Amino acid sequence: MSLRVAFLGLGAMGLPMARNLLCAGFPLTVWNRTPAKCDALRSEGASVAATPEEAARAADVVLVCVPSSAEVYDLLTRGDGILAGMEKGGTIVDCSTIAPTAAIEHERLCRERHVAMLEAPLSGGTAGAAAGTLTLMVAGDASVLERVRPVLSAVGKNIFYLGPPGAGQAVKLCNNLVFAAQIVAVAEAYALLLRAGIDARKATDVFLVSTADCTAVKGRVPVPGVQRAAPASNGWAPGFATEWMAKDLHLAEDFAKSLGVPVLQTALDHQMLRIAMQAGYAKMDLSVVGKMLQEWSAAATVDVSERPDGTV
């Protein structure tokens, strides 16, 4: 018998993930804080629950995808929340990106109610969510993962088991701090190239076969027209919004502080993203920091008549 699935949180990632579960044939119940977001899936065959408790009662596996630790905790523990409706032996899979310490605490709360909980933060952005090719960074009880693997396989292509509670969130935060560093470095590089009058397409061709090659160069060159599918060529539509990455870097800094690890580059990247948010780019793809730097460069007045060493 097919596992009954509920999905809570139909945002930019959650909606296409839920749709993939429905397409895979799982009996699906959905809930969202804004009920109107459930309408499309209702018309495609999903049941719509009035509360998280109602959704949990209709499911063997509940997937959660919301923005913050506080929202996950609220969904779990509120009077009409998941744990109020989940039967003993059920499984909750939290696909949110939250603090590792919060993930550990949530798993403990569920275990005390005889409900299994896995964390499975995601990588792959909205395109990966739509295509069902996400990477899932799973932590918790390995035997539970095997029980729900068919469900997770409907939303992700790469499923990694990483260890005890908290491990998945730790890997996700480290993954994102690396990606953020790429984005900021690429933003600076292209601002410099354009200011120097270099053809961005030709430079990209070089980078793709040189040591500069990375995820940000492959798909997020911050110059409109260089890459057809890049956010820069599509109105900066978010595959991963600036505000989402800023939130994750805040979590990464807190995690590093708790372990006594200095993360100076991450702090600088976080500051760059916060500036971009203040400039009105919070909802746009995080590669928009390249646009911001190019705007700063265009506004700058540079005297190139004399070099710093006094030569002309």
pLDDT greater than 70 at residue 303: no
**The pLDDT value given to residue 309:** 56
Mean pLDDT calculated for residue range 148-153: 98
pLDDT greater than 60 at residue 197: yes
pLDDT greater than 50 at residue 46: yes
The span from the CA of 115 to the CA of 9, in Å, is 20
Label residue 159 by pLDDT band (50, 70, 90): very high
Structure-token pair, residue 217: 């160069």
**The pLDDT value given to residue 100:** 98
Label residue 7 by pLDDT band (50, 70, 90): very high
**The pLDDT value given to residue 300:** 78
CATH classification for the domain delimited by 169-299, as one of 1.20.210.10, 3.30.70.3280, 1.10.1040.10, 3.30.70.660: 1.10.1040.10
**The pLDDT value given to residue 48:** 98
For 246-263, letters b (16+ CB in 10 Å) and e give: bbbbbbbbebbeeeeeeb
Lowest mean pLDDT across 22-26, 171-175, 297-301: 297-301
> Could you tell me the residue ranges of all domains in the chain?
5-164, 169-299
The span from the CA of 311 to the CA of 275, in Å, is 35
Round the average pLDDT of the chain to a whole number and report it.
95
Percent of the chain having pLDDT more than 90?
A: 95
- Residues with catalytic roles: 172
DSSP string for 109-133: HHHHTT-EEEE--EESHHHHHHHT-
User: Residue 238 gets which letter from DSSP?
Assistant: -
Structure-token pair, residue 115: 């409900």
pLDDT in tens, 215-254: 999 999 999 999 999 999 999 999 999 999 999 999 999 9
Q: Which residue has the tokens 């550990």?
A: 104
Mean pLDDT calculated for residue range 275-303: 92
DSSP string for 55-95: HHHT-SEEEE--S-HHHHHHHHHSTTSHHHHPPTT-EEEE-
**The pLDDT value given to residue 312:** 43
The span from the CA of 118 to the CA of 110, in Å, is 10
Mean pLDDT calculated for residue range 55-83: 97
**Domain 5-164: CATH architecture, name and number where available:** 3-Layer(aba) Sandwich (3.40)
Structure-token pair, residue 34: 């804004």
